[in-house]
Structure 1
């Protein structure tokens, strides 16, 4: 709205708006009611309240190139906040000595992206693009260094073991419980049906054993 020849900036941030909207929608779908209401408040405050206030004030109070400068500084502040946000994850990695919640591929991709956008801003002499990505490069490199330090930590092995299925161990020394109920058998009826003698006796034993 306030600057020309920014097709690349519009393209990437349009895609970002769509992707982030999908992320928030997924969160609303699976979050608890309490977390959903808290997040809804943040969405209304930031995405509508703060954005609407910025749009209104810059349109009313600023004119011409001054408007672009003010919006540029605001964009720079939000970009730095986005890059600084992973500091909480880095602190968690240091405390737990586990990189479970800080994938290396994500850190690498963010670092490469920050480098490319820094070069883009530098070539265009656009301070609002170049400066935030300096912090992105630094934090991305720090994340990869932390990953290299703690990737073989014992905490990672413990986290992996927690995901394994539980195996029930059977104590071989303890006897296995068996249903040992004995049911009464009418011997006379067996004799009358199967006859006397050796064959009848064996059959009688087999009948008794089969009902134990």
Structure 2
């Protein structure tokens, strides 16, 4: 709607009026479908947001530029506003780029949409350049850059297995299993040492005694002699 308003203020830009009128119609259909199928809470929040942005936001822009500016100044102000909003539109897909890098999956970024974004940015850039209208040309430089970036990410991650919740759980299980495999090595070593110590305790070579939770070796002592008494029994 801003671009239509800008085109109405500027002469010889009928293509801006045509393409943005079609875009407004399609976007209106998207919004209607969303409001029809959305839950009640989401529907009410969306209606508030639409009212705030379109009725209040766009209405204030039209009102203020009509009252406070005139002629070429009005066109320049609206052009700069369109430029800023166009930059915001092209920056928005960076959230999808972050999601692709995080999940290593391109299911959130269709290649045809990225390709169409790139071609559209190139065409509008040259259109603005030929008209010497940098309000049209400059935002599409950013659109072209992000379009190329999205296509590069698509070809990088298109053959990679997406990092889903199941894959994350499997990876964590493998890490835990490896850690558990390292622990028994120390346990086995301690078990062997204890067995050796028990063998020494049970042998006659090194008698030991327990004292204050410690095992202390003692010197072997001479065997205790017990005299035997013989009792005679009369037949």
Say yes or no: does 1:91 pair with 2:98: yes
TM-score, L = length of structure 2: 0.66
Decide which of 24, 37, 54 is 2:44's aligned counterpart. Answer: 37
How many residues align structurally? 159
Decide which of 13, 21, 36 is 2:20's aligned counterpart. Answer: 13
SS at match of 2:59: helix
1:153 matched to which residue of 2? 160
Contact in 2 for aligned 1:100/1:156 (Cα 8 Å): no
Give me the whole-angstrom Cα distance separating, in 2, the residues matched to 1:62 and 1:157.
54
SS at match of 1:154: coil
Decide which of 60, 64, 69 is 1:62's aligned counterpart. Answer: 69
SS at match of 2:159: coil
Give me the whole-angstrom Cα distance separating, in 1, the residues matched to 2:105 and 2:36.
29
Q: Which structure would you say has the larger Rg?
A: 2
Encode CA deviations 1:63-86: one digit per residue, 9 max, x unaligned: 110000000000011111111111
CA-based RMSD of the aligned residues comes to 1.6
Decide which of 48, 52, 74 is 2:55's aligned counterpart. Answer: 48
Specify every segment of 5 or more residues in structure 2 that has no aligned partner in the other structure, as ranges. Answer: 1-7, 167-235
TM-fit CA distance, 1:38: 1.2
2:208 matched to which residue of 1? none
2:119 matched to which residue of 1? 112
Q: Which has the higher contact order (CA 8 A, sep 6+)?
A: 1
TM-fit CA distance, 1:48: 0.8
TM-fit CA distance, 1:4: 1.1
TM-fit CA distance, 1:157: 9.6
Give me the whole-angstrom Cα distance separating, in 2, the residues matched to 1:122 and 1:141.
20
TM-fit CA distance, 1:41: 1.0
SS at match of 1:112: helix
Contact in 2 for aligned 1:76/1:128 (Cα 8 Å): yes
Decide which of 70, 79, 83 is 1:72's aligned counterpart. Answer: 79
Decide which of 23, 29, 47 is 1:22's aligned counterpart. Answer: 29
Say yes or no: does 1:101 pair with 2:131: no
Encode CA deviations 1:34-53: one digit per residue, 9 max, x unaligned: 11111111100111110000
SS at match of 1:155: coil
TM-score, L = length of structure 1: 0.73
TM-fit CA distance, 1:156: 7.9
Specify every segment of 5 or more residues in structure 1 that has no aligned partner in the other structure, as ranges. Answer: 160-212
Runs of 4 or more off by more than 2 Å in structure 1? 156-159
